[in-house]
Amino acid sequence: MKLNYYRETDSLYIDLSSRPSASSTEVSDGIVLDYDVEGNLVGIDIDNASRKMDLKEVILNKVPAEVKAVIA
C-alpha cells in the first residue's frame, strides 16, 4: 500500500494494489474509489485532502509489514 500526497492539487491517493484501475465511483464529494476489472478495490482518491483529514501525522498500528518512508 502506498500513500501519495500531491500538494499542487491537495489530493491524497491511497494505492492499495499494483493492479490497474478499470472503473471509478465517486462515493462522496471528492472521494473516488477505483476498482480493477474484477471489481476489487485498488485505490482511493481524496480531493481537498488537507481539509478532510489531518495530514501531519500518520499512525500505523500493528501493521505486519516493513515500513518505508519516502520524503519528497
Is 22 a member of any domain? Answer: yes
Is 21 a member of any domain? Answer: yes
Is 70 a member of any domain? Answer: no
> pTM (2 decimals)?
0.85
Asked if 23 and 12 count as a contact pair (C-beta separation under 8 A), the reply is no
Look at residue 70 and tell me whether its pLDDT is greater than 80. no
pLDDT at 69: 77
* Number of domains within the chain: 1
Is 28 a member of any domain? Answer: yes
pLDDT in tens, 16-69: 999 999 999 999 999 999 999 999 999 999 999 999 999 888 887 888 877 777
Q: What cell does 20 get?
A: 490497474
Is 66 a member of any domain? Answer: no
pLDDT at 72: 64
3-state secondary structure 28-55: ECCEEEEECCCCCEEEEEEECHHHHCCC
Asked if 31 and 63 count as a contact pair (C-beta separation under 8 A), the reply is no
Edge to edge, the sheet with strand 11-15 lists 2-6, 11-15, 41-47, 31-35, 23-28
pLDDT at 64: 84
Which residue range(s) make up the domain with 8?
A: 2-52
